[in-house]
Amino acid sequence: MLFREAQISDIPQLQVVRNAVLENTLSDPSLVTNYDVEDYISRRGKGWVCESNGIIIGFSIVSVIDKNIWALFVHPGYDKSGIGRRLHDGLLEWYFAQTNETIWLSTAPGTRAEHFYRKAGWVESGTPGKEEIKFEMTAAQWKGCFKL
pLDDT (tens digit per residue) in 65-91? 999 999 999 999 898 889 999 999 999
**pLDDT given for residue 25 in this prediction:** 66
**pLDDT given for residue 119 in this prediction:** 93
Residue 1 above 70 pLDDT?
yes
39-52 residues labelled b (16+ CB within 10 A) or e (exposed): ebbeebbbbbbbbe
**pLDDT given for residue 146 in this prediction:** 57
Alpha-helical segments (H) within the chain: 11-20, 34-39, 83-98, 112-119, 139-144
Residue 147 above 50 pLDDT?
no
**pLDDT given for residue 4 in this prediction:** 96
CA 66, CA 145: separation in Å to the nearest integer?
23
Domains defined along the chain, listed by start = 2-144 (3.40.630.30)
CA 19, CA 84: separation in Å to the nearest integer?
16
Task: Tell if the pTM clears 0.85, that is, is over it.
Answer: yes
Say which residue, 78 or 130, is predicted with more confidence.
78
Task: Please state whether 24 falls in left (phi above 0), alpha (psi between -120 and 50) or beta.
Answer: left
Residue-averaged pLDDT of the chain: 90
Q: What is the DSSP letter of 15?
A: H
CA 8, CA 22: separation in Å to the nearest integer?
25
Q: What is the DSSP letter of 5?
A: E
CB atoms within 10 A of CB 12: 10
**pLDDT given for residue 23 in this prediction:** 76
